[in-house]
A and B are shown apart, each in its own frame.
Chain A
Amino acid sequence: MGLELTKEEKEMLDGKHGKATRKAIEIITTLGEIYGAERLIPVSSVQIAGVSYHNLGEAGLEYLSEMAEDGRTRVLTTLNPAGMDLSEWKKHGISEDFAENQQRVVDAFKKMGVITTCTCTPYLIGNLPHYGEHIAWAESSAVCFSNSVIGALTNREGGPSALASALTGKTAEYGMHLQKNRVAQVKYEIKTELNDNDDYGLLGYVIGVRTGKTIPYITGINHATTEQLKSFSASVATYGGVAIFHMEGITPNRTPIPEKIEVVTRDDLNGARTELDDEGAEIDFISVGCPHASIKEIATVAEMLDGKQVTAGKTVWITTAKPTKDLAIMMGFYDTIEKAGAFLVADACCAVAPLEGRFTGLMTDSAKACFYARGKNKFKTEIRSVEECIKEAVS
């Protein structure tokens, strides 16, 4: 069969739309050929990862600057978290050097027309596709959320391939863009009540570890909040590489119900907690907001911190998107949180900020945050409910 290109796509390949567009379409057509796509399809929304200077380094920045010379976005494009709060970085202990380089990364994206709200939850702040819409998103948790909870269609893009889609408005039609690849493969019967974000994170861990990239069909959950589903998406994508799940009565995609059955009990969740709790963790860092906290979560945290004081020697980061932080400022939540000695940090998170060596033990409500804190920052971790995290902060 092979990949068939339209006249416009061929022109892009010939360089008629500029250098950056040419490089971008080369990336997309090559991926299409590798995965046996027959055509490219338009996308209406892009989410780019690879924003923190901590991960990109000078070479990544150089590539982005080169693309920004004549590359311009063709569709709504938002950004993943950066390595710092772009306005309040100083008080969070970020160095001048890092801040300058991070700003250069964000400026390169801005020049291309990217909306530079740095968040892993674009769907909470205005980049919200609808059911059945083809999109090209990086950020594994947002990919999983959009495929599963929203019912949009996207592969797990990387930073450069997502940028390529932004500059061309196209992606190759393969993988998650085809209905046949979105069908559930294993049924999971959940035999326990799930309560807080941490429970959903633990469930994501259990399912992710047990089945890897196979697609789960989950039953036994009668109600879940957006926040709980975002926690679950992040965890199951981190520990299993899962791009889509089905949850009976909650997610909108249609699928035949698989015959293969797995059961998840409270014992399994407890086992996952034991895995994510490091022995001898001395907690000096508490972080809530992985994925980025919603305004509802921030309101809850503010209420818990009202009139309290964070204990000396402990640092608290509540991480969120800039528009949500602005809303929190407007509502007075920001003042309450900061008065208590905690930080409401926009644009960044504990997984991508340069934090190695600054802390030793992280307590969080996020199973995903545990993974990155351990691997990249060498912290010991404990996973608890938001309430327990805040209790730990002020105890």
Chain B
Amino acid sequence: MQGRKIFKGKIMGEALVTGEDISFYGGCDPETGEIVEKGHHLEGKSVSGKILVFPTGKGSTVGSYVLYALKKAEKAPLAIINRITDPVVAVGCIISEIPAVDKIEIEKIKTGQKVEVDADNGVVSIVE
């Protein structure tokens, strides 16, 4: 799938997919990577070490710093794939150097699938 580069990098990993938007500030534990937003589809799951796939970000701009905290704690997602990346997540990926691609039909990706993200070229491939 051809999308758009948000932040560079090339990586392969297991997809964690949600159809719900994510607010990193208040919605994700900066130390563990666990989604803590009450009632969120991913509540209790950790984004750490995953190719995190979600429609777009929401919530406070402090959310950018949560992604940075995750990176420092080595709990960040390997890469982020969005339908459309919002400024909070975009800035978070840039400052934390997390590969990110948007303009992808995220419905085509299922949790548990092995996915390759080639952010430099904006390409996402489902490997298996």
Interface residues of A, Cβ cutoff 8 Å to B:
23, 26-27, 30-31, 33-34, 49-50, 55-60, 62-63, 138, 157-161
Knowing A34-B6, A50-B61, A138-B61, the reply to whether A57 touches B94 (Cβ < 8 A) is no
Give CA–CA (A41, B25) in the complex, Å: 30
- A56 contact from B7, B62, B73, B95, Cβ within 8 A: B62
Distance in angstroms between the alpha carbons of A58 and B66 in the assembled complex: 10
Is the CB of B80 closer than 8 A to any CB of chain A? no
Of the candidate stretches B11-19, B35-43, B84-92, B108-116, the one touching chain A is B84-92
New A-B pairs, 6, CB < 8 Å, besides A34-B102, A49-B61: A30-B94, A34-B85, A34-B87, A50-B61, A59-B30, A59-B65
In the assembled complex, the Cα of A107 lies from the Cα of B6 at a distance in Å of 31
A-B pairs, 6 with minimum CB distance? A158-B61, A59-B69, A60-B65, A160-B91, A55-B62, A59-B68
Which of B72, B94, B102 has the most chain A CB atoms closer than 10 A to its own CB? B94
Interface residues of B (CB under 8 A from A): 4, 6-7, 25, 30, 60-62, 64-66, 68-69, 72-73, 85, 87-88, 90-91, 94-95, 102
Q: A59-B30, A158-B91, A161-B87 are in contact. Are A30 and B6 (CB under 8 A)?
A: yes
- Consensus secondary structure, chain B interface: helix
The answer on a CB contact under 8 Å between A31 and B91 is yes
Pairs across A and B, CB under 8 Å, 11 listed: A23-B95, A27-B94, A30-B90, A49-B61, A55-B62, A57-B30, A57-B65, A58-B69, A62-B72, A159-B62, A160-B64
Nearest CB in chain A to that of B69: its residue: A59
Report the separation of the CA atoms of residues A292 and B85 in the bound assembly, to the nearest whole angstrom. 33
Give the residue among A27, A62, A158 with the most B Cβ atoms within 10 A.
A158
The closest CB in chain B to the CB of A29 belongs to B94
Docked complex Cα distance between A57 and B28 (Å): 14
Contact of A159 among B30, B64, B72, B73 (CB under 8 A): B64
Give bound CA distance, A371 to B2, whole Å.
Answer: 41
CA distance A330 to B72 in the complex (A): 46
B65 lies within 8 A of A50 (CB): yes
Task: Verify A158–B87 contact, CB threshold 8 A.
Answer: yes
Question: How far, in whole Å, are A186 and B17 apart by their CA atoms in the complex?
Answer: 38
CA distance A31 to B7 in the complex (A): 11
A59 touches B94 (CB 8 A): no
Scoring B61, B72, B88, B90 by chain A CB atoms within 10 A of each residue's CB, the highest score goes to B61
CB–CB A159/B61 < 8 A: yes
Kindly list chain B residues whose C-beta atoms are within 8 Å of the C-beta of A161. Answer: 61, 87, 91
Min CB distance A162 to B, Å, is 9
Contact A34–B65 (Cβ < 8 Å): no
Most buried by B among A49, A55, A63, A157: A63
Contact of B61 among A26, A57, A59, A160 (CB under 8 A): A160
Contact A160 B65 (CB under 8 A): yes
